[in-house]
Structure 1
Amino acid sequence: MGIEEPSKHSGIVIVGAGLAGWHVIDAIRSKDKEIPITLITADNADRYHKPMLTMAISQDKKPADLVRAAGEQAAKTANVTLLAHTQVSDIDAASQTLQLVSANRSDPANTNDAVINYDKLVLAMGAHPIFPKSLPESLVWHVNHIERFGQLQEKLSTGSQHVVIVGAGMVGTEIAEDLLKAGHKISLIDLNDAPLAQMLPAKATARIRQAIESQGIEFLGGYQVTDVVRNEDDRLEVSYEPLENVQGQANTMTVDHVIASTGLVVDDKLPAAAGIEFNPRTGIVVDAPTLRTNANNVYAIGDCMSIDGVACRYVAPLRAQAATIADDILGHAHAGYDHKPPMIRLKNKAFAVTVVGVPQATGNWQVKTETTDELVMELFDDATDDKAVKATVSLKVPAKPAAKA
């Protein structure tokens, strides 16, 4: 679908057709079947569950296997005007208009005349992978969108290959195990000395590192990638070196693929154009009870927004966030969104990690349970008189079956 004849009065306009955008549509349609909704997205708006991407290759899942509903059909079912393969190039919050550019127009040189109005605007545009200068986007993969996932899956389907994953946070740690199970050789490189070191205490991350390495994953902690180049054999030369406080030597390895898992960033172009309060680190700032931005009639949800200085990049709260936005837009009385940190579960099978609360690497972590195959730790809030528990991490490493005689 293009934008040659966009409606001038589009009612509710949602920018972004990921999980967050579709959740808002579902919430509105559960309360109002007729109010006009326009969905604008740079892709085809197919509905799929993004968290599945980090465990799909070992299951031999292709993009078509992960799509729950094609975008065009989903929009038709929901009575939504879909502007697919379309980008918003500007927001004028004063006149409540959006300027659009479509990839489908036959005259790409003259795309500055497509403008639509909105009564209410919901920004659900997500966040984008960070590519440091040492990881050129033309050579390095990411697994943050189904289209890019499909291209990587096709490349890896030809046989066992050597893959370097840069970044050992949640996503990098999950992908490493998934690709290992698919039969590939995996090297996991991180600035820290253990996976998940930015969110969990050292005692827990040391066990995670041990569990990862026992699977056969090469973990290079305390190293940074300095360059990635393609060689004459069409493979990649990955140069890396230790941090200043880490003993080790600079080295180069030859691999087939590199995947960046180095975090996400929200594009500030549209928030800046609309005069929306924005934090470069965490994204669009919203009022927690309503999820409104400081711009009139503009809301934000999902990966692109933050509450109380914390980025909201988990799937679990989306349904409640979308319900709040729907009620607020439709003028229904509501109690307000009550933001609670979601329970975090890694999808790894070789070990189980569950986190409740707001974890952080440092602080007053105390051991609650410690055995050979289980570790439970609690983070206490020293700033309160009762020293309340701020977070709990539970780590279980299943015992390996005894070797056959």
Structure 2
Amino acid sequence: MENPIIIIGAGLAGWTAARELRKLDKTTPVLLITADSGDFYAKPSLSNAFAQKRGPAQLVTTPAASMAHSQQVTLLAHTRVTAIDTASQTVRTSAGDFTYAKLVLATGAQPIRLPMAGDAASAVLSINSLQDFSVFHARLTRGAETDQAATAQKHVVIMGAGLIGCEFANDLISSGFAVSVVDPSSNPIGALLPAGLGEQLREALASQGVAWHFGTTVQAVNHLAERSGALTVQLANGQTLQADVVLSAIGLRADLELARASGLQCERGMVVNTSLQTSAANVYALGDAVQYAGGRTMPYVMPIMHSAKALAATLAGRPTQVQFPLMPVAIKTPALPVVVAPAEPGTVGQWAQSGPGVWLFTDETQAVKGFALSGSHTSRRAELVKRVV
């Protein structure tokens, strides 16, 4: 019997790799192993679900059984991978051992959790999966059936003013919750946006009601004795906030536990070449757990889509190198819509505003290497892509 292609991970990367492979190869057996249910959903939709009035169940676009049937994949859900033996090409799992012809690792990333004091530190939530969102959603909607007014006044403290933190802040504030955002920097999404655009986003969200606490961090989270379920949040600058939920959105770190234990070369992610092969023969990887050629990590949707297409061709017997075009990122902040195409890491240059709602990143020769657009000017995305060299 032919050994299958085994895919570990049922997120966007794992399922997209399976779907792209099936476009080219209808017969090679594929086994997809995941620790969760395997239901397909778009992870970016987690950060704007409240405004769309979508609960966890409504976010599932295709149930796992339907995905497995349509892609002719054998699915092992709720199954833990315990080890990979790259010499014998064997995957050991909680459901037994399986030998692979080729292996695809789509293990994703895990939320960064900073050490924190307080008797409610463990109550701080992170959202990186549908299950995480289910817990968050339940915490915020508890009691909504009997007391909608009280629920609408619930206060969420968000740790982190990066892309995800700002998207959640906009989603929650527009859905009637009170929102405070705590970040050690001076402006939102400072790692991606020019300072002037960051200031505009800060003002736009503040006008909606978001309370910013820049230049400080959360030091401790404790239970509030006077009110069941409530929390007190102690900031490093001495301020104290009360909250119903504390959400940590300070970033993700590649999930490398399995890869490292298997002897694969890892740095910031699993190191892959331009064909997405790891340091082991017949073992490939894509998605948030990967460090692509050139040392880049790219935790966004479009890199996954391009990677999956190239990898599918390679798995189908047509070795293909992945090539990434310029991939602008649309930030879901309706208070001020933003599209940004940052320059490649290591590019020396500077941001400058070239007109209303338009910023350009130019290098020392004045060549355009990136851009950022805001408001109605996000419609100029295709035009600006053509200017980047």
Whether 1:287 aligns to 2:273 is yes
Show the counterpart of 1:297: 282
Show the counterpart of 2:313: 327
**Residue among 224, 229, 232 paired with 1:237:** 232
1:256 maps to a residue whose letter is D
1:394 maps to a residue whose letter is L
Q: CA deviation at 1:362?
A: 8.7
* Residues 17-61 of structure 1, C-alpha deviations (whole Å, 9 max, x = no match): 001100011011111111110001010100111111100112220
The residue correspondences of 1:3-402 to structure 2 (distance < 5 A) are 10-101=3-94, 114-134=96-116, 138-157=122-141, 158=144, 159-160=151-152, 161-232=154-225, 233=227, 234-242=229-237, 250-279=238-267, 282-288=268-274, 290-307=275-292, 308-332=294-318, 334=320, 336-358=321-343, 363-369=349-355, 374-382=356-364, 386-396=365-375
Q: CA deviation at 1:189?
A: 0.7
Q: CA deviation at 1:231?
A: 2.6
Q: Is the 8 Å Cα contact of residues 13 and 287 (structure 2) preserved in structure 1?
A: yes
Aligned-partner SS, 1:73: helix
Q: CA deviation at 1:358?
A: 2.5
CA–CA distance in structure 2, aligned partners of residues 137 and 238 of structure 1: 10
CA–CA distance in structure 2, aligned partners of residues 139 and 154 of structure 1: 13
Q: Is the 8 Å Cα contact of residues 9 and 116 (structure 1) preserved in structure 2?
A: no
Summarize the Cα distance change of 1:137–1:277 in structure 2 as closer, same or farther, 3 Å threshold.
farther
Summarize the Cα distance change of 1:363–1:139 in structure 2 as closer, same or farther, 3 Å threshold.
farther
Q: CA deviation at 1:64?
A: 1.6
User: Share of identical aligned residues, percent?
Assistant: 35
Q: CA deviation at 1:101?
A: 2.1
2:136 maps to a residue whose letter is L
Q: CA deviation at 1:340?
A: 2.9
CA–CA distance in structure 1, aligned partners of residues 215 and 348 of structure 2: 18
* Residues 254-290 of structure 1, C-alpha deviations (whole Å, 9 max, x = no match): 11001110100122221112221111xx3111112x1
Show the counterpart of 2:381: none
CA–CA distance in structure 2, aligned partners of residues 29 and 142 of structure 1: 34
- Larger % of helix: which? 2
CA–CA distance in structure 2, aligned partners of residues 181 and 86 of structure 1: 38
Q: CA deviation at 1:397?
A: 7.5
Q: CA deviation at 1:329?
A: 1.4
Aligned-partner SS, 2:32: strand
Q: CA deviation at 1:179?
A: 0.5
1:100 maps to a residue whose letter is T
1:140 maps to a residue whose letter is V
CA–CA distance in structure 2, aligned partners of residues 48 and 64 of structure 1: 10
Which has the higher mean CA deviation after the structures are superposed, 350-359 or 158-167?
350-359
Summarize the Cα distance change of 1:397–1:205 in structure 2 as closer, same or farther, 3 Å threshold.
farther
Q: Is the 8 Å Cα contact of residues 122 and 298 (structure 1) preserved in structure 2?
A: yes
Q: CA deviation at 1:342?
A: 1.3
Aligned-partner SS, 1:43: coil
2:104 maps to a residue whose letter is V
1:274 maps to a residue whose letter is S
Summarize the Cα distance change of 1:359–1:83 in structure 2 as closer, same or farther, 3 Å threshold.
same
CA–CA distance in structure 1, aligned partners of residues 315 and 207 of structure 2: 52
TM-score, normalization: structure 1? 0.85
Q: Which runs of 5+ in 1 are unaligned?
A: 1-7, 103-113, 243-249, 399-405
Aligned-partner SS, 1:116: strand
CA–CA distance in structure 2, aligned partners of residues 341 and 42 of structure 1: 33
Show the counterpart of 1:4: none
CA–CA distance in structure 2, aligned partners of residues 363 and 262 of structure 1: 26
CA–CA distance in structure 2, aligned partners of residues 148 and 137 of structure 1: 16
Instruction: Work out the number of aligned pairs and report it.
Output: 362
Summarize the Cα distance change of 1:190–1:9 in structure 2 as closer, same or farther, 3 Å threshold.
farther
CA–CA distance in structure 2, aligned partners of residues 84 and 21 of structure 1: 13
* Residues 373-400 of structure 1, C-alpha deviations (whole Å, 9 max, x = no match): x331211122xxx4422211112389xx
Q: Is the 8 Å Cα contact of residues 110 and 254 (structure 2) preserved in structure 1?
A: yes
